[in-house]
Amino acid sequence: MNLEVRHLKLIKSIAEEGSVTKAGSRLYLTQSALSHQLRDVEQKLGVSLFTRMNKRMVLTPAGERLLASAHTVLDELKRTEEDLRHIALEREGILRISTECYTCYHWLPSLLQIFHHQFPRIDVQIVVEATRNPHQALLDGKIDLALVNSPVRNNKLIYKPLFRDEMVVILSKNHHLNARPFINPEDLLNEHLILYTKPEENYALKQVLSPAGVSPKRVSNVQLTEAIVEMVKAGIGVGILSRWTVSPQLEAGVISALPLTRNGLFRDWSAAMQRHKATPAYLAAFLKLLADNSVLIMKTEKKSGKANKLKLLKAVDCTDSYTRA
DNA sequence: AGGCAGACGCGACTCCCACT
DNA sequence: AGTGGGAGTCGCGTCTGCCT
């Protein structure tokens, strides 16, 4: 290829200025330098680009053709440089997120709204397919950040602790187990357990019921919190959900919740990402947003003799109606 | 006078090769 | 593999002649 960007700038400047001397002033080069350049490119292309008419440089048809390309290419280069500047400033890019639990998608959109105000040109993509194994998705480079609660750790990933939430057993108001201060695994033996996730993926089953050798009479998988609440309310079964998920219903008094085991069952949430990958500014900002708001997402306070009560603060209002597709 | 183009020289850069 | 030096190349500037 004979044509270079300087040749495109040259032909554009000469065509617009009408002379090599004026073009030289615009390009901060001498008339002679541009004359050399022009002769060089004309020789390489084997065609005249300008007709020398007295003291004016007039484009030939070949010159007209090259000028059209020069406009296109130089404009595109200008746009590219502008885009690269944005990327260099890390104001533009893609942030791919997934979580290890579908229920997080309840409060995540609210957090993303705040993030979008800070980084309007960052395209946030929620990769729902990675929910089943966000660790592997991170290692495969399919996502940039995962919200995880699994105690399993991978040494190729780093984990930033965020918050702890409590899994509780939810019951209808007139359920006989309401008399208990907490629920033991064996109390669920004769119950119809309605779970948000599949039994083999369920945190409570894996951490408490299975180790205790307890297999409830019946287990159903309903991937809709509102449906689980309605079924529990109707006395069809009992559920196990994170306390903050059912906070509005608990406050409204339509269902009740009891800790699972004497000490309760808690999940420790972390933000996971690749250990040896640079953290762009927008990702760092999102992490900070998570860390700052994790206290707001689920703040528990001890009340004398009563179970922890969840408080959802306005910054991230989880009561927004949101249902997973 | 003003503008273009050619001859020549300079500095920066690249390539190649020898050396450590 | 890394470093340093010499040769060649390229792009540009100065000077100058030619043309209108």
Between residues A294 and A223, the one the model is more confident about: A223
The Cα A215–Cα A217 span in angstroms is 7
**A27/B14 CA-to-C1' distance in Å:** 26
Question: Cβ of A146 < 7 Å from strand C?
Answer: no
pLDDT band at A303 (very low <50, low <70, confident <90, very high): very low
Among A44-53, A97-106, A195-204, A296-305, top mean pLDDT goes to A195-204
- pLDDT on residue A296: 60
Query: What is the distance in angstroms measured between the alpha-carbon CA of A11 and the sugar C1' of B8?
Result: 26
Burial pattern A247-258, b for ≥16 Cβ within 10 A else e, equals bebbeeeebbbb
**Chain C positions with any atom < 7 A from a protein CB:** 11-16, 20
Gap between the Cα atoms of A281 and A144, Å rounded: 13
Nucleotide of closest approach to A30 (CA, C1') = C13
Instruction: Quote the pLDDT of residue A230.
Output: 93
pLDDT digits 0-9 by tens, A95-135: 888 887 766 766 777 788 888 888 887 888 888 888 878 88
pLDDT for the residue numbered A316: 29
Instruction: Answer whether any strand C atom is within 7 A of the Cβ of A13.
Output: no
Q: What pLDDT does A308 receive?
A: 32
Per-residue pLDDT, A290? 84
Q: Residue A39, CB, less than 7 Å from strand B?
A: yes
> Which span out of A72-86, A100-114, A115-129, A201-215 was modeled with the highest average pLDDT?
A201-215
Which one is predicted more confidently, A230 or A23? A230
Say if residue A183's pLDDT is above 80: yes
Q: Bigger pLDDT: A87 or A266?
A: A266
Query: For position A313, what pLDDT does the model report?
Result: 28
Q: With a threshold of 0.75, does the pTM exceed it?
A: no
- β-strand partners of A272: A146, A159
Percent of chain A with pLDDT over 90: 22
Q: Which domains does chain A have, with CATH numbers?
A: 5-89 (1.10.10.10), 93-164+267-312 (3.40.190.10), 166-265+317-323 (3.40.190.10)
Q: Is the pLDDT of residue A258 over 90?
A: yes
Question: What's the one-letter identity of residue A120?
Answer: P
A37 touches strand C (CB under 7 A): yes
Average pLDDT over residues A215-227: 88
pLDDT above 50 for A315 = no
Report the mean per-residue pLDDT for chain A. 79
Q: Kindly tell me the burial class for residue A81, based on how many C-beta atoms sit within 10 Å of its own C-beta (0-12, 13-18, 19 or more).
A: exposed
A120-134, A185-199, A229-243: least confidently modelled range = A120-134
